[in-house]
Amino acid sequence: MVYFCQQISYLKVIRMEYGDIAGLARKIRENIEKVIVGKGEKIDLILSAVIAGGHILLEDVPGTGKTVLARSLARSLQCGFSRLQFTPDLLPADVTGMSVYQPAKGEFHFVPGPVFTNILLADEINRATPRTQSALLECMEEKQVTEGGVTRPLDAPFFVIATQNPVETQGTFPLPEAQLDRFLIQLSMGYPEKEEALRIMERFIRSAPLNDLQPVAEKEELTEAQALFSSCEVSAPIMRYIAALCEETRNRERTMLGVSPRGMLALLRVSQAFAAVRGRAYVIPDDVKALAVPVMAHRVILRGLYGKAGENEAFIREILDKVPAPTEEVK
């Protein structure tokens, strides 16, 4: 009887903590929605990626609110923020920093680059050359910078929000597969519906709400959420379902490149974070389904359809329709 009571007490603590993650996500979402209209589901996906410690790629046509969404998220968190406009003449040292010789001291001094922050907005990332894009590889994967034989860790939390325009090709350099694989999720904002468009005009007709946005969460809150979410329960059937989805992307005849083990682990981690954002301490199949396209589509290359994101998304939805989701057994 005592053991049973101890178990109940433990479950209450766990639920309270996951409720805290859901509460944190809710207040950040509501703050962002003071600026962004009608994108609550996408904001939840972004917050799940942030809590999972991943990076976000926003790909859409100009003017759909990619940069505004990224800046709204940054302003909602009491964290360091840097914005870097990627251009063809940008150098790797402009991203990571460089050692500068100081004649007065007779020694080199390291000048940190924009990556030494908590939130890095990499605006129009595909305008930089592959050489400069590759400067982010170590930062995004190991969350550190190595320069001059010295490795310097980045402050936690650290994540990149990158934007790119999928329709403009002049003066751009497509992200290589290794770079794309570093992004936990890829999302498109999409055009607003008619009612949403009216609300946008009403909201922005007299002022810019982004200028008045205030932080609603501290860095420590986000760090605690990132430490807690991985305790979210994932049953064996759910893990088999995730593995089956990823394997199916590699077994199709039209597939040149399927989802890697890194992509599989990304889907696992962000499903845990998404469940926590929804206030649950366990993952359900619908969590995996909601995240399959944002996590997997940009990691897949189909024969004859390289770079066509819409086809990749349709391919992942086809996989979701084919692979049966686990169901609860009724006894």
Number of Cα atoms under 13 Å in the Cβ half of residue 131: 8
Q: Which segment of 6-15, 38-47, 258-267, 309-318 scores lowest on mean pLDDT?
A: 6-15
Over residues 223-228, mean pLDDT: 91
Q: Where are the beta strands (DSSP E) in the chain?
A: 56-59, 77-78, 81-85, 97-102, 107-112, 119-123, 144-147, 150-153, 159-164, 185-187, 217-218, 255-257, 301-302
Please report the pLDDT score of residue 17 as a whole number: 57
- In this structure, what token pair is assigned to residue 79? 């964290």
Residue 107 clears pLDDT 90, i.e. is over it: no
Please report the pLDDT score of residue 169 as a whole number: 66
Please tell me the pTM assigned to this model: 0.87
CATH class of 232-325: mainly alpha
274-302 per-position pLDDT tens digit:
999 999 999 999 999 999 999 999 999 88
Cα–Cα dist 297/45, whole Å: 15
Cα–Cα dist 99/91, whole Å: 14
Residue with tokens 């990158």: 162
Cα–Cα dist 304/269, whole Å: 31
DSSP states of 12-32: HHHHHHHHHHHHHHHHHHHHH
CATH superfamily of domain region 28-228: P-loop containing nucleotide triphosphate hydrolases (3.40.50.300)
Domain ranges of the chain: 28-228, 232-325
119-152 per-position pLDDT tens digit:
999 999 999 998 999 889 999 999 999 988 899 9
227-286 per-position pLDDT tens digit:
999 999 999 999 999 999 999 999 888 888 899 999 999 999 999 999 999 999 999 999
* Beta-strand pair 301-302/97-102: unpaired
**Reduced to 3 states, what is the DSSP secondary structure of residue 230?**
helix
Please report the pLDDT score of residue 19 as a whole number: 64
